[in-house]
Amino acid sequence: MLKDILPEFSVGLSPMDEITNKEFRRICKRYGSDVLFTEFVSSDALIRDVEKSIEKISFSSVERPIAIQIFGNSEQTLTMAAQKVEKFHPDFIDINWGCPMKKIAGKGSGSGILNDIPKMIQITKAVVDSVKVPVSVKTRIGYDESNKPIVKVAEMLQDVGVQLLSIHGRTKAQMYKAEADWSLIAEVKNNQRMKIPIFGNGDIDSPQKMIDYKNRYGVDGILIGRAAVGNPFIFEQCKQILKNNTPYTPSLEEKVMVCKEHLLAMKDSVGEDRAIVLMKKFYSRYFLGIQNFKPYKMRLMEENKVENIINILEEIE
């Protein structure tokens, strides 16, 4: 059972496209992320052996427990993709029924499925039945304001064999707007029929908020997305607050060291040019709150040699 390999309460890095690659995941793991997910990967692309997608599902054993996350809109492609990723021996396979982006949801993948619940359940069941590895689902509370069926959907997903459910407290229509509504997540968790672990997700941006929401909503785990970008330290801070300790504040030296490590690992993995592009999403986040960061940021954004970026990072004060 998946629940047996998870801690009693998990704080994990939420999957994020072009962010939670194996280099960043490994850093978050070191700082205490209890569970990891790959970036979402297209089932179609996996079946066609697209190199970039195969690269996205690779992971190292230090990352366990880890899920490979797949998306798609048909029983055939999702089951074929699940069978393919099973060969990579993830601890579980996560189906993405939550992405609201037009190019995904518009085709009935991700949260696009939330206006056709029978199809969502049928495909999920087919995936569960097609593999031996546990299957989990990450989804949203509903399609739009008038259609928030998550409490029933959670029961149905459990009934077809899903072993973990992560819920982002927004509808598809909300995208990332408004505040995440955790009351429905709590309703799922407090439903007597539910036995599988329920992870809550949405807007957790500090260890204080993590513990507050843990206590208030009683979930089995919390996934942190945007607030972990360039801030892997949040996992260690969460660990400390869970042990009743005051969370530490990472020093500038630590931030520089980890950012350099991240950049160099990316360079080794995807090459200099791609690493430089992908790392642009991280600098402002690593150095959030550092006064006078703007001139450094401008230089970091323009630089096209890793060696020079390292020099700039070392100058930050």
Ligand X SMILES: Cc1cc2nc3c(=O)[nH]c(=O)nc-3n(C[C@H](O)[C@H](O)[C@H](O)COP(=O)(O)O)c2cc1C
Binding footprint of ligand X on the chain (CB under 6 A)? 14-17, 19, 39-40, 69, 96, 98-99, 138, 168, 201-204, 224-227
| Six-digit token string for 218 | 């009683």
99 in catalytic set: yes
| Shortest reach from residue 25's CB to ligand X, in Å | 12
Which residue number places its CB atom closest to ligand X? 225
How far, in Å, CA of 138 to CA of 120, rounded? 12
Of residues 170 and 316, the one with the C-beta less far from ligand X: 170
| Shortest reach from residue 41's CB to ligand X, in Å | 8
Enumerate residues 6+ apart whose C-beta is below 8 A from 183. none
Helix (H) or strand (E) holding 170: strand 164-171
| Six-digit token string for 295 | 């001139």
Catalytic position from the list 28, 99, 238, 259: 99
Task: Tell me the pairing of strands 36-37 and 41-42.
Answer: unpaired
**Radius of gyration over every alpha carbon of the chain, rounded to an integer in angstroms:** 19
How far, in Å, CA of 45 to CA of 27, rounded? 27
Q: What angle do CA 71, 5, 36 make, to 5 degrees?
A: 40
Is there a contact between 188 and 224 (Cβ–Cβ < 8 Å)?
no
Helix (H) or strand (E) holding 224: strand 221-224
| Shortest reach from residue 314's CB to ligand X, in Å | 28
| Shortest reach from residue 134's CB to ligand X, in Å | 17
Is there a contact between 39 and 69 (Cβ–Cβ < 8 Å)?
yes
Enumerate residues 6+ apart whose C-beta is below 8 A from 273. 304
Of residues 202 and 230, the one with the C-beta less far from ligand X: 202
| Shortest reach from residue 311's CB to ligand X, in Å | 28
CB count in 10 Å sphere of residue 257: 14
Active site residues: 99
